[in-house]
Amino acid sequence: MSGPVSGAAGARPLHGTFKQKLAWMTVLVSTGALVVAGTAFMSYHLLASRRAIARNLAVQAETIGLNSVSALVFDDERSAEESLAALRADRNIVTAAIYGTEGNLFAAYAARPEDEDGIDRVISARQEDTVRFQRRTADAFRTIVTDGKRRGTVHLVYSLNELFADLAGYLGITIVVIGVSILTARFAASRLQRTFSEPVARLAAAAEVVSRTKDYTVRVEATSSTDEFGMFIDTFNEMLAQIQAREREVEAGQSQVQQLNEELEQRVLQRTAELDATNKELEAFTYSVSHDLRAPLRRIDGFANLLGDKCQSNLPDEGRHFLARIREGTQQMGQLIDDLLNLARLGRKDVSIRTTDLSPIVSRVADALSRDSNGRVIDWRLQPLPTVACDPALIEVVFTNLLSNAVKYTKNREQTTIEVGAIQDDGGFPVFFVRDNGVGFSMKYAHKLFGPFQRLHRAEDFEGTGIGLATVQRIIHKHKGAVWAESDVDAGASFYFTIDAQPGAGARQTLSKGETR
């Protein structure tokens, strides 16, 4: 999903809430303002009206009082009623009355006949000048005084109905205005919603889509306005674009890593195939050597033999000597080929690791060598050896080679001592050794010791093909171990080796100390 997101499809109902809040806020503010203004206005109007009424009543009562002085003095009831009747002009005056000095009713006026009952017959003789506001009326009392003498009291009752009607009118106007303002607020809110709420809703929807699908190609449709919301949307889109770009970079990096891995794997496969091919070639080669090299050798030996047999009488002694040399040469070469083939075969052989007690193997090898040693007395000093994980058949070959070498190179000693044992290296791993008191060798040539066909002694002194130690080294390497030797001319030789063939264990780094020489 990509492209601009508009509206609130699939989004949470945030949109409505925001719009409602906006509308409520507008209505509340405008209504509140109107209510406060209306109340203030009406209160002011009430106070002002009351003041005006009080003043008006005081003036009218004073006028009535002045006009009624002579009537009171001369006890002219009619004249007093006439001056009261002038109040008819003010339709707010409900009743009016003039009282004598004793508080007794002197003259009265009522706007309507039914109001006449409300007129008090007697009032207090010492009634003060006041204007009193009742629930529906205002009462005004005014003392009539001439020449510093109290002559009577005027009492006016003023109806407040008109004032209340005015206030009711104001209230109605206020309510209408509030209603209009609410409608206006709602309209404004919907307009505002288009400006504020819609962009926010679109942003919210886009953010929701991005967080749900992790799709950074989503963009929010830009508004035409250049206000903060427009900037907000632009910034949001910009941010998404940056994330998208970064995402692309990460993906590109990942695919590069993956490609490199694939290349590496491909290369490993290729190398493995090449190795396999090389191994096959080697195998074919050894097979061919085994068959093809031995066959002519056998023929040389066979015909040399026949020559010696059939033509014995015709051959001088020298000829027979030559024949003997030829035959010995072929024997030696036959042995060489056999040894070489065994060595090559080792390279192809899989090591089959088993927990192996080395002591019986060494005893067996030593016994066999003792039997073949033409009656030599050998002092075998065989220490008990630990049990290790190794290929027993191959390790027997190692001990056979090392022990037979020890026997071979001690053949000129009067007393032959051969010692086999194990010490522990720094890491607590066993280091096996085979030590003899034979002719030894110069450490100068130690580096040649384990190379095939390398010999440190003349053939006429010690027979051999130079394959034995190469075989030993190959086997030890197959066990992830190391082999080395220490010796000096005429000082005997010590051969050391380690085995690290624990299934699953990595190659142990013993080479720093015991690098094969």
Can you give the binding site for other proteins, defined by CB under 8 A? 287, 290-292, 294-295, 297-299, 301-306, 327, 330-331, 333-334, 341, 345
For residue 476, give every residue at least 6 positions away whose Cβ sits within 8 Å of its Cβ, in sequence order, or none: 398, 482, 483, 497, 498, 499, 516
- Long-range Cβ pairs for the range 463-469 (8 Å, 24+): 463/408, 464/408, 465/332, 465/335, 465/336, 465/339, 467/336, 467/339, 467/340, 467/342, 467/343, 468/339, 468/401, 468/404, 468/405, 469/401, 469/405
Closest distance to other proteins from the beta carbon of 284 (Å): 11
Burial 191-223 (b: 16+ CB within 10 A, else e): ebbeebbbbbbbbbbbbbbbeeeeebebbbeeb
Closest distance to other proteins from the beta carbon of 384 (Å): 34
The beta-strand segments (E) located in 35-136 are 93-99, 105-110, 130-133
Closest distance to other proteins from the beta carbon of 396 (Å): 17
Task: Render 302-359 in DSSP notation, one character per residue.
Answer: HHHHHHHHHTGGG--HHHHHHHHHHHHHHHHHHHHHHHHHHHHHHHHSPP--EEEEHH
Smaller CB separation from other proteins, 349 or 457: 349
Closest distance to other proteins from the beta carbon of 348 (Å): 10
Grouping H, G, I as helix, E, B as strand and the rest as coil, residue 130 is strand
Closest distance to other proteins from the beta carbon of 452 (Å): 19
Smaller CB separation from other proteins, 149 or 291: 291
Smaller CB separation from other proteins, 302 or 384: 302
Closest distance to other proteins from the beta carbon of 465 (Å): 14
Smaller CB separation from other proteins, 342 or 383: 342
Smaller CB separation from other proteins, 294 or 413: 294
Closest distance to other proteins from the beta carbon of 495 (Å): 29
- Asked if residues 125 and 151 have their Cβ atoms less than 8 Å apart, the reply is no
Q: Measuring CA to CA, which residue among 461, 467, 413 is closest to residue 436?
A: 413
Tokens describing residue 503: 């299934």
Closest distance to other proteins from the beta carbon of 464 (Å): 18
Distance CA 68, CA 107 (A): 10
Closest distance to other proteins from the beta carbon of 304 (Å): 8
Smaller CB separation from other proteins, 333 or 446: 333
Closest distance to other proteins from the beta carbon of 322 (Å): 16
For residue 397, give every residue at least 6 positions away whose Cβ sits within 8 Å of its Cβ, in sequence order, or none: 346, 471, 472, 475
Smaller CB separation from other proteins, 186 or 349: 349
Phi, then psi, of 413 in degrees rounded to 5: -85, 145
* DSSP-derived secondary structure letter, 127: -
Q: Measuring CA to CA, which residue among 155, 150, 154, 153 is closest to residue 139?
A: 155
Smaller CB separation from other proteins, 147 or 309: 309
**How far does Cα 143 stand from its chain's mean position?**
96
Smaller CB separation from other proteins, 88 or 299: 299
Smaller CB separation from other proteins, 185 or 304: 304
